[in-house]
Amino acid sequence: MPPILIALTFHEYAHGMMAYRLGDPTAKRAGRLTLNPLSHLDPIGTLALLLVHFGWAKPVPVNPAYLNNPRRDMIWISLAGPGSNIVLALIVGMILQFLIKQGIVGYPGIPYLMLSFTVFINLMLAFFNLIPLPPLDGSKVVGGLIPMQYLRIWETFERFGGFIIIALFLIGMLTGINVFKPIFVLSALVFTAFTGEQSLF
């Protein structure tokens, strides 16, 4: 749980901080510009994570009315979450590599496993959220890039995106190997690049 909480917390914090930097104080006013995990946990999402190993954090509120260029700025706000996870994975990966070389940690010790999982779960969260399916971050990027004549159609699709993900999960398609295998393989490759170790996951 600690690596997952760290990954989700940094992800949501980055969304809020980027929005704040671009002129939107909504997340700050809601008390979401914090690295306290309790401020970002969604009760149902946390319970789902514990029971079925698929969960979510409480989305950071964003008000496009505060943004100078809402379509462009929403792209940066959306990319901030996955970007923070990749940066965190890189930092922890470098720390893990240093500790291994110094002989301080090693497999199968708990510190080694915790640090390894922190790197891997951050990479998985980043790459999964870049899938262009609402309400994932990738869909917001598409919404900022899609031609204006198709924007209304995309926004209609976005309103039902959450139900689509839940439906796919319930019928087993979202948890199928065909969906997660590319993300898993990519995460394993980047894990090795960041840590110098073969992925255990």
Q: Is residue 39 part of a domain?
A: yes
Asked if the model's pLDDT at residue 153 lies above 70, the reply is yes
* Residue carrying the six token digits 């893990």: 96
What tens digit of pLDDT does each residue of 56-100 get? 788 899 999 999 999 999 999 999 999 999 999 999 999 999 999
pLDDT of 174 strictly over 80: no
The answer to the question of residue 184 being in a domain is yes
Rounded to the nearest integer, the mean pLDDT of the chain is: 87
User: What percent of the chain lies above the pLDDT cut of 90?
Assistant: 54
pLDDT exceeds 80 at position 3: yes
User: Is residue 132, in this structure, part of any structural domain at all?
Assistant: yes
Q: Rounded mean pLDDT of 164-178?
A: 66
Residue type, 197: E
What is the value of pTM for the model shown? 0.87
User: Does position 104 have pLDDT exceeding 60, yes or no?
Assistant: yes
Domain assignment present for residue 200? The answer is no
**Contacts of residue 70, Cβ cutoff 8 Å, sequence gap at least 6:** 64
Please check whether residue 118 is in contact with residue 56, taking contact to mean a CB–CB distance below 8 angstroms: no
Tally the domains of the chain: 1
Quote the tokens at residue 27. 């997340």
Tell me what pLDDT residue 58 has. 86
Peptide bond into 135 cis (omega under 30): yes
Report residue 104 as tokens: 């301080």
177 has pLDDT over 70:
no
Residues 6+ away with beta carbon under 8 Å from 140:
74, 75, 77, 78
- Does residue 173 lie within any of the structural domains? yes
Per-residue confidence (pLDDT) for residue 53, from 0 to 100? 61
**One of 12, 155, 158, 197 is an active-site residue; which one?**
12
pLDDT the model gives residue 172: 67
Residue 117 lies in a domain: yes
- The H or E element containing residue 136 is none
Place of tokens 């997660």: 180
Let me know if 12 is a catalytic residue: yes
- pLDDT, mean of residues 20-26: 96
Q: Is residue 201 part of a domain?
A: no
Residues found in the chain: 201
Please indicate, yes or no, if residue 49 is contained in any of the structural domains.
yes
Structural domain harbouring 9: 2-195
pLDDT at 178: 59
Q: How large is the average pLDDT for residues 149-160?
A: 81
